[in-house]
Structure formats: C-alpha cells, structure tokens
Structure 1
C-alpha cells in the first residue's frame, strides 16, 4: 500500500468554531470543533486508517516505513493539525526538549503555522516587540498587561510563521491554520483572558514553568532556502496545482490538501483527493504525482 489515507482525531477546545467541518470536510460531531490532528501518532489524538487501526499501529507493523532520517528519533517525529481559532487561543509557550524531558517526560515543541484563511484585520502574537526582563515578564503576567509588550503580527492567507521552542505565541480570533509541530502535547499557558473551562473553573496557568523557558525577545528571521519551514524535525513546502515528488528511502511524505481537489498517484494506485484530506506515503514508495486544481502542504522529515 503506497497511499495511506488518514482520518483525524478531533478536539473541542472552547476557542474553536465550525469551519473545519463546513470548509474542510472534517467529520466530527464535536461543537466547537477546534482542532483536527490529521497526521498523528500521539496517544492524546491518533490518526486512523480506513480499517480503524491507528497510524501508530501501521508504523509498528511496517518497519522502515518512516525512512532512514527518522531512525534517530525515539518516536514518530511530527504532528500535523488543522486549527480553527474562532476565538483567541491562550498566550502560551512550549519548552525545549531538554526542559520538557526533565519536567514532563515527553519532548518539547518547535512548530510552524501556515495560514489557510483569516478574517480581515486578523493578527497573532509572535514573540515580544522588544526585549523584556524576567521580572517585567512576571509582573505583566500578574497585572494582565502582557499583551502591551507582545509582537502583534498581522496575518494574511498564505503567511507562514516558524515558532522555535521558547517563543511566546498565540493564534488570535478569526484565523485557520495548518500546524506542523514536533510530536508533543506540552503547553504552558501564561494568559487566558480570564476564561473558565467546562468545569466552571479558570483554566490552569503554568507561569513558573513559562518563566523558566520563554525567550523574552522579538522573533528572529529565518532563511529556509526556499522552503516554508525547515528544522531537524520537518521540512514543509506549499504546492499549487500539479507537481511530482518522490518518497525515497530517507523519509515518509505527508500530503495535506489545503484547498481544491485533484488526484494522487503513487505505486500504481490513483486516488481522488480534496480539501481537508491527509495522506501518508511510506518511505520507499517511490515517485508520486498530484494533479488538479488543488493546494497541497508537503511535509518530510
């Protein structure tokens, strides 16, 4: 099997909306529908094959399907999501591997966001607008003035943001993104607009840990050599219309259809593809082709 179609696990976080269902065809009864984990081996939200088994089951049953570049990782290296922020997400930060392994017993998180759609005037928080001291950071969290010193970045469809671990960030209301991240579910919230969870209590903050790990500086520019994003865990490209690629011995290929429709051919098999669908091509599947009026997010390790 050279083409593996995946079905996501979904999340109903309180800031979500309905666009993943209405615009991206995600099948879920959750309301709100905040996230769809479209490529995941994480136990908190696995992706599923058509027969009901998980992607993790498939990987375990097919040694080598991740490719030689994944051999250095103890676990499946990445997690890809659709995120619909009808309302603001909490202002948060993710720790480095070193800190997360020591304190949370899982890996840290570097991630990237690719903006699929947004309302006019939408923005997100991405680092600070100037360097601040740890003391000022702590004081602003305490007195609810943190947003005054954050870098509020306007967003447009097609924008990409690379977020190394330690970067304070938040997707704000009216934005839909595809997120490619390290395979981790560690988040430290520092500010949550005073919201309460389903239990009627304020959602937990993780201020002390955030103070430990946050880079209190403006974001730095990155040169990814023509790619949308690139780091030791993932290389991501956006393709428009027809293109060819190869799933070689080095890495599996993740294909996420972010708009339109077309067809995918690999290993003598051709399948129709459309907006919102996620496909996994095992390493060594060989040449593949995507044809049609579609947009595709391509991720390899």
Structure 2
C-alpha cells in the first residue's frame, strides 16, 4: 500500500482559460483547458496513477483490484467523490444539479452536491447562487426566453479563500475570472438553464435542459450563504481548518509552515490537493513522495501515519 500521485483528465469547455497549464503545470494538450479532473474514477474522465507499483494504471483499475483502499465506511465499490480544478475565463452556464434519487432514476448516475474553494478571483469576479426572490416555472420560462433571467438570480462578489457549499437543487453559475478547487459527488450530470446564447467551435448552441432543471430546482428565496467564521487550529509547524462537512465528504485546509502529521485510518481513503507551495509526504512504510502546486495524491485507507514537510497550502478530503 502506497501513496499515489495522480495525473488528471482535462476538459476543453468553451468558457475555460490557460491558467491551469501556465500556473499549475498541467501538461495537457487542450485549449482551452477549463477543468482538470484530478482524482476521478468517473468514466467521463479517469485519473491515472503516476508513481510506484501502479504507475500507468487508471485509478479505477487500482480500486477495482483493491476495494479495501476506499475504507470500511464506503458502501459502494467505487470512489464516491470527484476532485477537480476549474479555470473560468468566461462565465459558466446558469445550471443546476439533481439529487441522488432523481439522477439514479433518470441518468443512472449519482446526483451532484459540491463544494467550491476559491483559489483566486479577479477584482470584480462573482458567482450566481440561488434566487433573489421566489420564482415559478412560468417566470423562469419567460425570463429565459426573453433574456431577462439575470434579474431573478442572486449574484454575489467573491474573493480568494471563500468557500461555498452547493447542495443539489441549487441554481448556480461560476463567474468569469475565477479559479476554483471543486469537491463533488462522483457525477457528471449538469442541467443547463441558460447559456448566454453562446455557440461552440462548430457554431452550435449548447443544449439546454430546462424541463429537467425545473424538476430538481429549489425555486425558493436564496439560501443564507454568509461566510461564517471557521475555527483555525494552530499547531507547531502548521494550521488546520475545516472548510466543509456534509454527508458526502469532509474538506480541511492545511497550511504547512514546517511540518504537519495526520493519520489515514481504515475507515476512509483521503486525498491531498496542493494549492500552493511544495513539499514532501512521508509515510512509515513508503519512500517519501514529493509534491508541488497543482499535485493531487490519493491515500488508501489504513495507510497509517502521514507527515507533511515543506511550505505549502493543501486541501485534505475524506469521506
């Protein structure tokens, strides 16, 4: 059992930019590079192991052979989450994701609850989260048709370090000039409500999914998205802060100044995503693994005591 650095799958969605290649060392021949699926077994984009005895194998193949790597808490035999970077050079579509119950019936996939950590944002960057006031299907249909949907949507300015929890059913849209780390259920189901009448490289408008979006959308007033203060625990050599905890995942931010230790028990795998800096990961039974900004590491359940060295900011994810 060993820590596995992962190579991502890239996505060239029309709203993407170049920052993941230029600033996060993503060697992917895709333009634009909108997303990198850093830790994924979803068939639309599977991560590849980059080091050790499993180098060159897909993460899904490794987990299929070793389902115990997921941990005793995981009921399914597939990785239940997907971890990605998003570079939004332009606005994403106004969209919504279904619940597990709806998606499993209609899409044969999981639903999609997600969390965003804002890694960087332009001065006037914003995102859409919910509605300004309660709406109805008729109101939405008319506003999409006549291009006035924006007046019903709740838009909020964002800045580096912001955290947003986006449960299934929440209408949303990531705004231009935003760089985000996203942790979500393992799913690729998105229902577009509005896409600004844009066309793809072939001149075709992207498909909208209004009827399904209405089926799953919470059309009540905007939820409370005020960023509540989160307790930061300081230790010699590092600080740690819980960013999000829900039924699907827990996300913790670790700022390593010199060193930081934690344990990976047999209850759940863990994932490290390096947002900045560099360092090394030491595990008792393994050779040290070097990491840098943009790297993602999968830690099998039960791997034991881990020690981070260096100077870096990371997200640590577990189920």
Quickly say closer, same or farther: Cα 1:213–1:220, change in 2 above 3 A.
same
CA distance in 2, matches of 1:252, 1:75: 12
- Give CA deviations for 1:90-110 in whole Å, capped at 9, x if unaligned: 110001111111111111100
Match of 2:268 in 1: 251
CA distance in structure 2 between the partners assigned to 1:144 and 1:265 by the alignment: 54
CA distance in 1, matches of 2:271, 2:45: 17
Deviation at 1:235, TM superposition (A): 0.4
Q: Does the CA contact (< 8 Å) of 1:138 and 1:211 recur in 2?
A: no
- What TM-score, normalized by structure 2, do the two folds share? 0.91
Partner of 2:62: 58
What are the residue-to-residue correspondences of 1:176-215 with 2, within 5 Å? 176-215=179-218
Q: Please state how far the C-alpha of 1:267 moved relative to its aligned partner.
A: 3.1
Q: Any residues of structure 2 matched to 1:15-26 within 5 Å, and which?
A: 15-26=15-26
Q: 1:74 to 1:53 in 2, by over 3 A?
A: closer
- Distance in 2 (alpha carbons) for counterparts of 1:290 and 1:74: 29
| TM-score where L is the length of structure 1 | 0.96
Distance 1:90 1:137 in 2: 15
Whether 1:274 and 2:292 are equivalent positions in the alignment is yes
Instruction: Please give the residue correspondences for 1:159-170 in structure 2 after superposition, counting only pairs within 5 Å.
Output: 159-170=162-173
Residue 244 of structure 2 corresponds to residue 229 of structure 1: yes
Cα shift at 1:74: 5.4
4+ residue runs of structure 1 moved beyond 4 angstroms? 221-226
CA distance in structure 2 between the aligned counterparts of 1:292 and 1:26, rounded to whole angstroms: 22
Q: Deviations over 1:219-274 (max 9, x none)?
A: 23598985211112110011111322111011001000011111111233212211
Tell me the matched-pair count. Answer: 300
What is the alpha-carbon distance in structure 2 between the residues aligned to residue 210 and residue 259 of structure 1?
36
Q: Which has the higher contact order (CA 8 A, sep 6+)?
A: 1
Pairwise CA RMSD: 1.5
Q: Please state how far the C-alpha of 1:60 moved relative to its aligned partner.
A: 1.1
Does the 8 Å CA contact 2:63/2:78 hold for their aligned counterparts? no
CA distance, structure 2, for counterparts of residue 160 and residue 147 of structure 1: 23
Q: Which runs of 5+ in 2 are unaligned?
A: 232-241
Q: Which residues of 2 match residues 93-104 of structure 1 at below 5 A?
A: 93-104=96-107
